[in-house]
Amino acid sequence: MPPREFVVRPFRATDRDPVAALLSRLSRESLFERFHSAGIRVDSAMLDCVTAGYALIAELDGQVVGLASYNGARCELGIVVDDKCRRCGIGNALCRELLRGAERDGVSKVMASIMHSNHAMLRLLQSLEWPLLHVNDGSSLEVTIQLQSL
C-alpha cells in the first residue's frame, strides 16, 4: 500500500485543541524524547509554549499528527510526531520547512536539545543540508544548526 499523503502548514489558533489531542496521544517515550520528561501536563501554558514563535503542523487525513516550532531568544527547535506516524517522513518535512522559514525570517542559527537516546532526531539533523555544531551536555546533546553566515 502506498504511503498516505500528509500536509505541512502553519499553525493557526484553531489548531490548539488538535495539537493538545496529539500531545495527549503520545507515548511516555515520545514525551520524554521531546520534552525530556514523560510527566508533562497538556494545559494552556504548555500549549502556549510549544506553539509560540514560528510553528508548523502536519495533518494526515484531517488529523494533526506532527508539530514543529522554534521560539525564544535561543531560537530553540522542537519537533514531535504521532507515534503511529513515525518513519513516514513527517518529522523530516516539518524540520526542513521550519528551518527554511527561519532562514527566510533572517534567523542565523537554531538550537536543539536532544536526548542521546533519541537516535531518530539525531539522524534527522545529520541529514540536513545546514552545518551542525554538537556540544555534549551530560544527558543531552546541544545542537546548533547554522542557517546562514553571520
Q: What is the mean pLDDT of residues 81-97?
A: 88
Tell me, what's the pLDDT at 26? 80
Count the domains in the chain: 1
Task: Record the cell numbers describing residue 35, joined without a space.
Answer: 520534552
pLDDT tier for residue 143 given thresholds of 50, 70 and 90:
confident
User: For residue 1, is it within any domain?
Assistant: no
Residue 46 has pLDDT above 50, yes or no: yes
Report the alpha-carbon distance of residue 59 to residue 12 in Å, rounded.
Answer: 13
Of all residues in the chain, the percent with pLDDT exceeding 70 is 89
User: For residue 80, is it within any domain?
Assistant: yes
Residue 149 has pLDDT above 60, yes or no: no
Task: Record the cell numbers describing residue 40, joined without a space.
Answer: 508533562
| pTM for the model | 0.83
Domain that holds residue 73: 6-146
User: For residue 56, is it within any domain?
Assistant: yes
Report the alpha-carbon distance of residue 120 to residue 11 in Å, rounded.
Answer: 24
User: For residue 140, is it within any domain?
Assistant: yes
pLDDT tier for residue 50 given thresholds of 50, 70 and 90:
confident
User: For residue 76, is it within any domain?
Assistant: yes
Report the alpha-carbon distance of residue 2 to residue 46 in Å, rounded.
Answer: 35
Burial pattern 104-122, b for ≥16 Cβ within 10 A else e, equals eeebebbbbebbeebebbb
